[in-house]
Structure 1
């Protein structure tokens, strides 16, 4: 009998709750102030959690033990149980946190504060603000270099990116960019950083050593006027060979070969994709479509949408678990 029960548990996945069984996506919905919990394999929402007002950034802590949600209209970051959605703690974050980035050592959370032109470092263990650094107006994108040396923060209003030396917590350079930079993404080796400039319709590829823009990528999805191409979220596949860029009002994502910087193709998704995440095996992109209240699952081999999942109101950010 014990063997039969064990076999049944294995065949069922032996997971309680069900969201622990397969790779899970957590999608923040800024208009409905909820988190949609999605079973990617099943292609459906398995839970909907109420959270703070206008949630945007969403990510797991480095150890996977907590889900962090930027409740931007509440000027706070919520720490929640990723299995149940229960609130563990509310962290002080500065005014209007948008995007954030957990430090590589797992000790800090760097939050861009759009309303007070600063980036805030939150001590995740002490659950308090560790320090703040003033940056340009309307900061949104933030990322730490893989070697831990640099913290980069976009300034949408100033069309610039601040390079913060984390050893001194000082801005050592304000790098000019195209109009309205929104997102920053380092390559895994830390040699390059990609910066999405939304209003210019471009993505800069920057050499980290020289802090110089090496290439500026443009995008021409079929039958889409140039003014609707508004790059925002960027993610790399785990092997580092492919980048996926959400193109906003173009209602598409671009799939880019990282080595050649050539666009492999475009995939039509829902309306106004903001951000995305890529599955652990690198086969699919999970895309939050802010204006159509949906999530697109994109097969990166065939460059096609293989599932469309109804989300909450205004999907914005995506976090992936195991």
Structure 2
């Protein structure tokens, strides 16, 4: 059991105006070799602290947090006015506006990157997921994952102007290099749709290997589109041009989450976050061969490249950290503490053109106060299978487990035991069902830290995962490692 508070040196480069215009499709930026500037910013959306961390890559400094809401339990009040579950990020082509999606409060917050102040909040349908600007900057497309449409927002007025009707559960949309197409994957249906950006008409469909796609990205050369399939642990690739033919499907690992790209001296490479394995897998986009495996911290989630392809930044969801990868060495070279449970991540060039750009930022404070635990199979405690993080919210902790190593599509329960081996009565915390890859992300809420990290002489409890039967918890399959 450890308390993670690490330090990061954050490196990156600045996009050219062309790169900024294309930057709304992750990995499509083409910024050349322009040096890092104090005008640039790296942003991460943090779901449990309801914040956005702001980093100056020129000085390798976390400048502070944009606070969009409060942690629990204040966010549960009927009078609560802040945002909840800050999750998605996009930015305007000129770098002056950041679009932050909060899935729990059904909103998009438009933030002035020069002052870090919210200039407008637009409320939409149930559980919006991601927001990206069209390449010309005139519209913001928001996938409303809890419903069946993409909300199209006027970028000048911040008003919803129309809706693009789709099958239920659109997960994310990104645009082609030339701006002609939008590729919209689904989180509930096994189908990605291609929409004409100009007239909002569906012009193509691509069969997904599973219904749950959380992330989609276009390659910098404009030839391919990659999407992740989190529930089955795969990545799928299709042609970016009609007839949008599927090119390749690859097994990557349980809780495969995001994909992005970097142009390097070794070619155009795809970087894929694999949550349960705590790894980034790197693929050559020409041959589809895996060229590297990069160990990182717990539950890697969102990632974004520097414009010159020398760095890839990764949010570590269960570590409250941002990792930076050197793409020449294919290894993590630094980490920085950020807010709780980072999700989406973007690198914005020329975000601040005058002054220090620190107005309205708040200190990190207790946002990284967290306790991490690990679970392993009985009898094999050297091999961690599941990482668990207890995110402090005052008297309460949000519990998040990145679970792996289970039988597919079976019922389980995360529970507390009075004994380290899980023997005796169990107190259930959260029931869940493993996905087809035998993995899951499991959440619970409660005053748990003081009983799983009790001082000597105090009553101690242990986290376990058990099979869930009709009459309650059964066989222990994973137990907390001391």
Q: TM-score, normalised by structure 2?
A: 0.51
Whole-angstrom CA distance in 1 between matches of 2:263 and 2:147: 35
Which residue is equivalent to 2:428?
none
Whole-angstrom CA distance in 1 between matches of 2:10 and 2:282: 11
Which one has a bigger Cα radius of gyration?
2
Whole-angstrom CA distance in 2 between matches of 1:35 and 1:248: 29
Find runs of 4+ consecutive structure 1 residues off by over 6 angstroms: 32-39
1:86 aligns to 2:61 (yes or no):
yes
1:242 alignment partner, one of 197, 221, 224: 224
Deviation for aligned residue 1:95: 2.7
1:283 alignment partner, one of 250, 263, 268: 268
1:105 aligns to 2:94 (yes or no):
yes
Residue deviations 1:91-114, cap 9 Å, x none? 134332211012110111001111
1:293 aligns to 2:282 (yes or no):
no
SS in 2 for 1:168: coil
Deviation for aligned residue 1:33: 9.3
1:176 aligns to 2:168 (yes or no):
no
1:303 aligns to 2:285 (yes or no):
no
Mean Cα displacement is larger for which, 273-282 or 289-298?
Answer: 273-282
The 5-angstrom pairing of residues 181-220 of structure 1 reads 181-220=170-209
Structure 1 portions without partners, runs of 5+? 1-31, 40-56, 221-227
Residue deviations 1:256-289, cap 9 Å, x none? 1112311111222122211111112562100011
SS in 1 for 2:48: helix
Deviation for aligned residue 1:83: 6.5
Which residue is equivalent to 1:315?
300
Which residue is equivalent to 1:230?
212
Given that residues 270 and 294 in structure 1 are in contact (C-alpha distance below 8 angstroms), is that contact kept between their aligned partners in structure 2? no
1:270 aligns to 2:253 (yes or no):
yes
Given that residues 251 and 268 in structure 1 are in contact (C-alpha distance below 8 angstroms), is that contact kept between their aligned partners in structure 2? yes
Residue deviations 1:241-260, cap 9 Å, x none? 11111121221211211123
Which residue is equivalent to 1:74?
49
Given that residues 9 and 60 in structure 2 are in contact (C-alpha distance below 8 angstroms), is that contact kept between their aligned partners in structure 1? no
1:252 alignment partner, one of 223, 234, 241: 234
Mean Cα displacement is larger for which, 77-86 or 159-168?
Answer: 77-86
Whole-angstrom CA distance in 2 between matches of 1:316 and 1:34: 18
SS in 1 for 2:231: helix
Whole-angstrom CA distance in 2 between matches of 1:179 and 1:35: 41
Judged with a 3 Å threshold, the aligned counterparts in structure 2 of structure 1 residues 270 and 74 are, in CA distance, closer, same or farther, namely same
Given that residues 10 and 60 in structure 2 are in contact (C-alpha distance below 8 angstroms), is that contact kept between their aligned partners in structure 1? no
Mean Cα displacement is larger for which, 92-101 or 269-278?
Answer: 92-101
Judged with a 3 Å threshold, the aligned counterparts in structure 2 of structure 1 residues 304 and 179 are, in CA distance, closer, same or farther, namely farther
Whole-angstrom CA distance in 1 between matches of 2:6 and 2:190: 29
Deviation for aligned residue 1:85: 5.3
Given that residues 104 and 148 in structure 1 are in contact (C-alpha distance below 8 angstroms), is that contact kept between their aligned partners in structure 2? yes
Whole-angstrom CA distance in 2 between matches of 1:184 and 1:119: 15
Whole-angstrom CA distance in 2 between matches of 1:38 and 1:280: 19
Mean Cα displacement is larger for which, 249-258 or 115-124?
Answer: 249-258
RMSD, aligned α-carbons: 2.6
**In the comparison of the two structures, how many residue pairs are matched?**
264
Greater relative contact order structure (CA < 8 Å, 6+ sep): 2
Which residue is equivalent to 2:317?
none
Whole-angstrom CA distance in 2 between matches of 1:179 and 1:118: 19
Residue deviations 1:206-231, cap 9 Å, x none? 011221111221034xxxxxxx4522
Whole-angstrom CA distance in 2 between matches of 1:189 and 1:36: 35
Q: TM-score, normalised by structure 1?
A: 0.75
SS in 1 for 2:247: strand
